[in-house]
Amino acid sequence: MSSSRLHTPTPAAGPSKLPQSAPKPWIDPAALPNDRAVTVESIAGNAPDYVKRLSCNTFYAYGVGADPAAFGYDVGRATKFVNISIERSMERAGRLEATTIAELTVTKHMLNGAGMLHGGCVTYLIDNTPLVVLGVFQNTNGVGVTQAMNVLFHAPAPLGSQLRIISTSISMGAACIVDKSTGRVVASAFLNKMQPQAAKL
């Protein structure tokens, strides 16, 4: 996508927090710490750098977390975003689309007993949503929790496979995991996200 197709509103002092009138967000990307291991300048795509930064902060600080003993920590930290883009061709119809592309190599701790990428690991990788990108770009809350996911497994991914996870926002969300070296689709999915409501006592 050409960056000339994207007209980016430039915040006066960088990214702002959600408007005061908005309900308290589940997670506010602007309140999360910067992940110093991420260099947004190395991430391709036409999304502004502040969108890339806050989207990566959300993935690593909220989605992966800081506890090395937590589920998926090693897999999440090994996942590297290589492209974050916003497509405005559907803006007249009242919506934007975002695409994130991340890459990682299948390592031993991602395998099942048959020596292939575990289905639970596939699901974890797919649950990387470009809705956060749209939320940051539009100054709304795009962070939610997964409500439903329908995964199709197409082919196994053995140890050493280099994976590319391509996620696109549509009316729900779609994701595809591809073997980078062969182009073979490993898995694809559609998923729904929702905004959780604070419990009322």
Better pLDDT: 31 or 89: 31
> Contact, 60 vs 66, CB < 8 A?
no
The one-letter amino acid code at 74 reads D
Mean pLDDT of 55-82: 90
Better pLDDT: 154 or 191: 154
pLDDT at 106 over 90: yes
CATH classification at residue 189: 3.10.129.10
* 3 part of a folded domain: no
* 84 part of a folded domain: yes
* 126 part of a folded domain: yes
Question: What number of other Cβ atoms are within 10 A of residue 31's Cβ?
Answer: 12
Mean per-residue pLDDT of the chain: 79
The confidence score (pLDDT) of residue 48 equals 93
Q: For residue range 118-136, what is the model confidence (pLDDT) as tens digits?
A: 999 998 888 767 778 888 8
Question: What number of other Cβ atoms are within 10 A of residue 137's Cβ?
Answer: 23
> Contact, 146 vs 152, CB < 8 A?
no
* 1 part of a folded domain: no
* 13 part of a folded domain: no
Range of the domain at 42: 28-194
Domains in the chain, number: 1
Mean pLDDT of 21-47: 80
Q: Could you tell me the strand order of the sheet in which 185-194 lies?
A: 80-87, 97-105, 162-169, 173-179, 185-194, 145-153
User: What's the angle, vertex CA 90, arms to CA 135 and CA 51, rounded to 5?
Assistant: 25
- Encoded tokens for 66: 């800081």
pLDDT at 110 over 70: yes
Residues present in the chain in total: 201
CA atoms within 13 A on the CB side of 130: 28
Cβ-proximal residues to 120 (8 Å cutoff; 6+ apart), any chain = none
> Contact, 130 vs 168, CB < 8 A?
yes
The confidence score (pLDDT) of residue 176 equals 78
* 20 part of a folded domain: no
